[in-house]
Amino acid sequence: MEKIKIEHHTVSGGMWLAAWLFTIGYLHLSFLQGVLAIVIWPYYIGNHFFGM
């Protein structure tokens, strides 16, 4: 029988969400700009660091 290990990363996910909300508030983005920042910006970060 295989052992299954379940990991929870709620602290790092919560910190990520808090950082995004702080960034959106700090830059005074509108709602639509904030949604676009959350959806599109991780693509650009991944593309920059991993060269996809």
Asked if residue 2 belongs to a domain, the reply is no
Give CA–CA dist 27/47, Å, rounded.
Answer: 23
Mean pLDDT of the chain: 84
Q: Tell me: the pLDDT tens digits for 25-48?
A: 898 988 898 888 888 888 888 888
Residue 45 lies in domain: 28-52
**Domain contains 6:** no
Q: Is residue 17 part of a domain?
A: no
How confident is the model at residue 52, as a pLDDT? 60
Asked if the structure places residue 50 within a domain, the reply is yes
- In the chain, the number of structural domains is 1
